[in-house]
Amino acid sequence: MTEIKVVENIMKLNDSVAAEVRALLAERGVFAVNLIGSPGSGKTTLLERVLPKLAPLSEMLVLEGDIATTRDAERIAAGGIEAVQITTGNACHIAAHLIKRSLAQCDLSGRKYLLVENVGNLVCPAEFDIGEHAKIVVLSVPEGDDKPLKYPLVFQTSALCVLTKIDLVPYTDFSIARFKQNVEAVHPGMTIIQTSLRQEGGFEEVAGWLRSERTRLGAAA
Amino acid sequence: MTEIKVVENIMKLNDSVAAEVRALLAERGVFAVNLIGSPGSGKTTLLERVLPKLAPLSEMLVLEGDIATTRDAERIAAGGIEAVQITTGNACHIAAHLIKRSLAQCDLSGRKYLLVENVGNLVCPAEFDIGEHAKIVVLSVPEGDDKPLKYPLVFQTSALCVLTKIDLVPYTDFSIARFKQNVEAVHPGMTIIQTSLRQEGGFEEVAGWLRSERTRLGAAA
């Protein structure tokens, strides 16, 4: 019973910091997404490919969450985009206070998009609001078409599903039709965009989704 | 500070239950492994292929950890092996008390191997002792050869690394040589076994490792 209360309190504290972050971003006109996916699902590559198609690079800020190393932030920065590495030590997710602290060190003027790449993990990051406007779940073909059923929360709470590495379908047992059925079973009507680095497909579509989501939420605010 | 103490207490409680589990298993002559890997890394497939090569099926017991669904236990049971599903709800790892509770419901007589497949997650399961004798980290080729550097703890604490889906190497940027270097950097001397379902390779070697580890630990005890 004590343990449960502690978890509740931690969650409440996180939610209140997340609300602060969301208010700050709204005030500055920044649309924020939280990318969640397993290690190696292709989150960093997605950012590398999508961001140059989205808007002037100066309008974007990327926060890279990792347990160790600064590799991902270096990859993004190499593309000319401002990137901040958040290393979480052993923590399996980014909590809202880490975003708040990172943003305090960043210049937000002229930024329209904040892209947070969470720690590679399909489980815990789905439970923590970090002040984003939308979560995006990134799943790669080799992970298997049954994953929406096995890890439902992240699919239920995300606005968009990006299915990566579709060029690997012929070499695996993955069925796109079965995957769509499984997504539909846990999140009816969910938008799915298929991408492939090797076939250079889908990235323009993801950029379009981000652009229209920003407009839609801006208009609604 | 309060939060940190709570975490410490939870960990201490977990460790003491894990010690109980380990003592029970030693008393019954059961060698236990804890399989850790991302969603879709091939943990269940590994068990399906390795166990028939290891020993009479009646000597084995499999505990399948999942957030949702009983699919994995059904897959193992379909192969004639006793399997118990542990569904963790939203919990991102198996804690020792779940193993203790599951074992209380199982008949351990005649068992020599307990194989626990943890929740698909490369992060949190590495932090929780569940009373196993050895951890095995399972990584699949599409996840990328940099993962030992990005998720060091699970590589440092595991006795064996199984690299799965090596038939996909030609279709990815994965370098076996670079992967070995990265493993060596975080866990010098770590044993790596490469497997492929499509090429039917490596499973006999994993069975051999389990057999000799059981003997080695039995002799040392």
* Beta strand ranges found along chain A (DSSP E): 31-37, 60-66, 82-87, 113-117, 134-140, 160-164, 191-194
Q: Rounded to an integer, what distance in angstroms lies between the CA atom of residue A128 and that of residue A11?
A: 8
pLDDT tens, position by position, A71-118: 999 999 999 999 999 998 878 899 999 999 999 999 999 999 999 999
List pLDDT tens digits, range A133-154.
Answer: 999 999 999 999 999 999 999 9
Q: Which of A81-95, A131-145, B32-46, B168-182 has the lowest mean pLDDT?
A: A81-95
Instruction: Say what the pLDDT of residue A219 is.
Output: 55
Is residue A133 within 8 Å of residue A213, measured between CB atoms? yes
Both structure tokens of A22: 């969301």
pLDDT, one tens digit per residue, over B136-149 is 999 999 999 999 99
Q: Enter the pTM of the model.
A: 0.92
Does B217 map to a domain? no
For chain A, what is the domain count?
Answer: 1
B89 is a domain residue:
yes
Tell me the C-alpha to C-alpha distance, in Å, between residue A17 and each of A10, A98, A103, B185.
11, 10, 12, 37
What's the pLDDT at A89? 82
Q: What is the pLDDT of residue B7?
A: 66
Encoded amino acid at A14, one letter: N
**Average pLDDT of the segment spanning A63-67:** 94
Q: What is the pLDDT of residues A171-198, one digit of tens each?
A: 999 999 999 999 999 999 999 999 999 8
Q: Does residue B49 fall inside a structural domain?
A: yes
Q: Which residue has the higher pLDDT, A177 or A68?
A: A177
What is the extent of the structural domain holding A46? Answer: 2-215
Residue A115 lies in a domain: yes
pLDDT above 90: percentage of residues in chain B: 86
Looking at the complex, does the CB of residue B153 fall below 8 Å from at least one CB of chain A?
A: yes
Name chain B contacts of A149, Cβ cutoff 8 Å. Answer: 68-69, 71
Looking at the predicted structure, is the pLDDT value of residue A13 above 70?
yes
Measure B61 CA to nearest chain A CA, in Å. Answer: 22
Mutating which of A43, A85, A165, A171 best tests the B interface, going by the most B Cβ atoms within 10 A? Answer: A171
Residue at B86 is within a domain = yes
Q: Which pairs from A194-198 meet CB under 8 Å and 24+ separation?
A: A194/A162, A194/A163, A194/A166, A195/A42, A195/A46, A195/A49, A195/A162, A195/A163, A195/A164, A195/A165, A195/A166, A196/A164, A196/A165, A196/A166, A196/A167, A197/A42, A197/A45, A197/A49, A197/A164, A197/A165, A197/A167, A198/A167, A198/B171
Identify the CATH number of the domain in which residue A78 sits. Answer: 3.40.50.300
Residue B214 lies in a domain: no
